[in-house]
Structure 1
Amino acid sequence: MKPVQFLSNSPKIDNIVKGFTLTRSLFVSSLLVGEPFTGKKTLIGMLFPNTIAIDASNREELLVALENNEEIIIYNFENLINFEELNFENRRIIAIANNIDNSKKIEKKFAFIYHMPSLQEREDLDVFIDYFQYQIQQELMFDYPIILDRKSLDLSSNIQSLKASIYKQLIYKTLSSEDIENILFEYLFQNIEGNNAYREHLYLFERPLIKAGLKKYKSQLKLSSILGLNRNTLRKKIQEHDLD
């Protein structure tokens, strides 16, 4: 159980762990439901490390496993057609699903149904951020402190998007001016064409410059002085780049 607690400080997750722990010696059917990339399969794998796991999308393989095993993990359960026809009697079934339909049939089939919270619902989000930031910094060989903008991290696809946005932030925050120049070179080399390329690509410099300045100084008057532009010119560019 220690690996589960390592990435969890959440009462909601603790309740799921307790539920599965209390019934691990019983022949009952349990279902864990939650959005993709919330750690459902990892959690179940840690609780039942020696249990055979079958993809519900492969019905024939599942039928064979049910015939020969008393304890089975079934993942992608939402892909299983006519699941009510399967015999779960005298077996310990642990099913994992991203979503469920036919809730009445589900309730008849499973003695226990648990709901995995999304990262947006988790009280221990900082545990995930700290853990993945450490892992990714080790991978990228960044051995110095880097402060993330945690409010802008992407949780839309839970762990998948969180890790991707941590990667991006860490890379963005460590780029040198030479790195940025090389990135722009590669992009422009692939995209400049026509007869108005200068004006068409000027936004690549102007937009982030003005956006960063507005966030940093929080005043158009102050920013116009910093940039050496008159207020009318700055206001026009803010509107032009849809930054107001």
Structure 2
Amino acid sequence: MQEYIAQDEISKEILNSAKLLQAVNVNALIIGSNGVGKKSLAKYILPKSQIFEAKALQQDIIDEVITIKNDAIIIDKIQDLTNISLLLKWIEDNSIRVIAISNSDILNQKLKDIFSINLEIPDLSKRENDTKLLVQKFSKEASSTLDMHTIATSKLIINTSNNAHSLRKSIYFSYLFETIGEEEILMFLERYLSEHLDGENAYKDLIYLFEVPLIKASTKKYKSQVQVAKNLGLNRITLRKKIDIHKELL
């Protein structure tokens, strides 16, 4: 059975609803941002069912190449459907149960009406305990995949900006970072810069790649702007200007 991480209270409530959906034959809609666990939850509800991407399923129905009757399916990215009436007729004619996945709750009303239950999964930024468990899971996975000793949690880079997708990537990067030195960092930076050099203001446009991490690291280490300015060898006015310039990234 597909694993769905549920340590926070909101996740436990969602999981309880999912357990109910295992027992009752109704259509349900799972909503949430990328990487919050929508597909894992859908597979938890219907572990033996096929997953179809909405656009591909729509085309298969048009081409009459899909022969499913009296069954349950998972439809991913249902917000991408363009012919709602076609899908609804196919569902009704073939007695299909649907567990659908969407990044948005802004859907055609006719489509929304077929779902008896809506489950909305919050971002990881609102699920502290789930995130901790995912960090442990991805750390163990990275250690095994890369054949490295497990590294301390305090040394892991935790990025949940794109939920589990970015978190997993940041954990793997944390492990890889343990194996690289200054030479490799300069090499990676050089390659990135060479691919993004464009126009006559390249220096001005790309200097943030150096300044943003330097300001972030200094702020974490020295706390106050007075100490940050002192240890970076900048006056406070210059530091404040740079912070204002990069405020969206800081």
Kindly indicate whether the alpha-carbon contact (under 8 Å) linking 1:53 and 1:72 is maintained by their aligned counterparts in 2: yes
Residues 25 and 201 from structure 1, CA distance in 2 versus in 1: closer, same or farther, beyond 3 angstroms?
closer
Match of 2:110 in 1: 105
- Write the mapping of 1:37-116 to structure 2, written as runs, cut at 5 A: 37-57=35-55, 58-62=57-61, 65=66, 67-80=68-81, 81-82=83-84, 83-88=87-92, 90-102=95-107, 104-116=109-121
Does residue 134 (structure 1) correspond to residue 132 (structure 2)? The answer is no
2:34 pairs with 1:36: yes
Instruction: Evaluate the alpha carbon distance shift between residue 140 and residue 171 of structure 1 in structure 2; reply closer, same or farther with a 3 A threshold.
Output: same
CA distance in 1, matches of 2:22, 2:33: 24
Q: Deviation digits for residues 185-206 of structure 1, max 9, x if unmatched? A: 66688899xxxxx9x9999878
In structure 1, the residue corresponding to 2:161 is in which secondary structure? Answer: coil
1:1-244 alignment, distance < 5 Å: 3-4=2-3, 7-57=5-55, 58-62=57-61, 65=66, 67-80=68-81, 81-82=83-84, 83-88=87-92, 90-102=95-107, 104-123=109-128, 124-148=130-154, 153-183=158-188, 212-213=217-218, 215-218=220-223, 234-235=234-235, 238-239=238-239, 242-243=242-243
Given that 1:34 and 1:99 are in contact with CA atoms closer than 8 Å, whether structure 2 keeps it comes out as yes
TM-score (normalizing by structure 1): 0.70
Between 10-19 and 124-133, report the one with greater CA deviation: 10-19
Offset at 1:127? 0.8
% same residue: 28
Summarize the Cα distance change of 1:94–1:209 in structure 2 as closer, same or farther, 3 Å threshold.
closer
- Any unmatched runs of 5+ in structure 1? 193-197
- What is the distance in 2 between the residues matched to 1:134 and 1:11? 24
- Unmatched runs of 5 consecutive residues or more in structure 2: 198-202, 245-250
Q: Which amino acid aligns with 1:111?
A: S
Question: Any idea what the Cα deviations from partners look like across 1:85-115, whole Å, max 9, x if unmatched?
Answer: 4434744321222223346434421112211
Q: Is the 1:66–1:72 Cα contact (8 Å) retained in structure 2? A: no
> RMSD in angstroms over aligned alpha carbons?
4.1
Q: 1:178 to 1:16 in 2, by over 3 A?
A: same
Q: Could you tell me how far apart the structure 2 residues matched to 1:26 and 1:204 are?
A: 53
Deviations 1:44-102 (A, max 9, x none): 22332221222221314357657524222222211223244443474432122222334
Native 8 Å contact 2:139 2:150 kept in 1:
no
Q: TM-score, normalised by structure 2?
A: 0.68
- Greater Cα radius of gyration, structure 1 or 2: 1
SS in 2 for 1:46: helix
Instruction: Figure out how many residues of one structure are paired with residues of the other and give that number.
Output: 232
